[in-house]
């Protein structure tokens, strides 16, 4: 082959490559990165907030024990046990995070093994959530089923379609359910805040029963202890408000990312709003830590 033929071959190759590239829409992988990172940040922040809530519940038990005879059950939370509720909400957020992680893998990875691993994580977290749901829980009983069907849907699209088409179909199918799930989670976060209010009322009542009557150093110490406890209740209440707001931003960011598959130049306003809310919860945790 002479130099002219070689140059002509190179020209033909780049012409064909350019035509193929022009006919394909690049996947905006950075958006999927940010969506998955925000989901993970929201989950981690929620885990930390929930852990602090369990700690403050122990404080409430200790304060309550001051007014009761010492026994084996005196430090148990009783009818206001937050632990089961917190585990359930955390598991729901875990499934959300794993779903967003699967989208990220589908957008970025060419290896089926990577996608299969992310799909398995989502399936496992959905199964774990379903196992925790009580039949009487009308609001959350559907969540496990939603995500179980979502796992099947994403897996089917991966097998049948190219990545961008699989993303479009899976995300379109998931959008309505995602709105419903995030609305339920946000509502339940508000209920958790209401439980915290009941706990704070009990602490007030029990503190008042044992508060030193004399205005001396002992009373000062007791009042300072109560002030610190109430301050943490305020911080936790603010964090729960932020968590509820962050979760509600996920569907809009998901929809915006879906639309960007067709129009990559679309603004990232919903994604930025989600990132901002997720970061605010993280800052709260650094504050109370």
Return the pLDDT at 114: 63
Predicted model pTM: 0.77
78: left (phi over 0), alpha (psi -120 to 50) or beta: left
What pLDDT is attached to residue 28?
Answer: 86
DSSP secondary structure of 203-245:
HHHHHHHH--SSSSHHHHHHHHHHHHHHHHHHHHHHHHHHHHH
Q: Which tokens is 27 given?
A: 């996947």
CB environment 161-182: b (16+ within 10 A), e (fewer):
eebbebbbbbbebbeebbbebb
Chunked in runs of 10, what are the mean pLDDT values of the chain (289 residues)? 39 30 64 92 90 87 78 74 83 87 80 67 72 59 61 58 76 87 88 87 81 81 86 90 93 93 86 89 55
Helix (H, G, I), strand (E, B) or coil at 262: coil
């Amino acid at each position: 082959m002479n130099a002219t033929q070689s140059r002509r071959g190179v020209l033909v190759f780049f012409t064909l490559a350019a035509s193929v590239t022009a006919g394909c829409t690049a996947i905006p992988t950075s958006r999927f990165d940010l969506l998955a990172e925000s989901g993970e940040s929201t989950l981690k922040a929620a885990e930390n907030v929930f852990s602090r809530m369990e700690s403050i519940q122990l404080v409430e038990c200790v304060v309550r024990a001051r007014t009761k005879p010492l026994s084996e059950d005196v430090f148990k939370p009783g009818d206001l046990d937050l632990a089961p509720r917190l585990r359930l909400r955390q598991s729901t957020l875990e499934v959300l995070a794993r779903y967003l992680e699967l989208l990220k893998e589908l957008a970025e990875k060419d290896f089926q093994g990577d996608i299969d691993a992310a799909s398995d994580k989502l399936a496992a977290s959905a199964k774990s959530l379903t196992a925790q749901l009580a039949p009487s829980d009308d609001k959350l009983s559907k969540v496990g089923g939603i995500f179980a069907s979502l796992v099947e849907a994403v897996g089917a699209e991966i097998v049948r379609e190219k990545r961008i088409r699989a993303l479009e179909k899976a995300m379109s199918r998931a959008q309505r359910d995602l709105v419903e799930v995030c609305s339920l989670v946000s509502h339940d976060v508000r209920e958790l805040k209401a439980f915290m209010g009941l706990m704070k009322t009990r602490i007030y009542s029990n503190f008042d029963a044992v508060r030193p009557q004399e205005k001396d150093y002992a009373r000062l110490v007791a009042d300072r202890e109560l002030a610190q406890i109430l301050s943490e209740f305020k911080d936790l209440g603010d964090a729960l408000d932020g968590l509820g707001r962050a979760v509600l931003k996920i569907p809009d960011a998901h929809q915006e990312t879906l639309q960007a598959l067709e129009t990559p130049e679309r603004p990232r306003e919903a994604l930025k709003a989600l990132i901002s809310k997720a970061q605010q919860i993280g800052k709260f945790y650094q504050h109370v830590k």
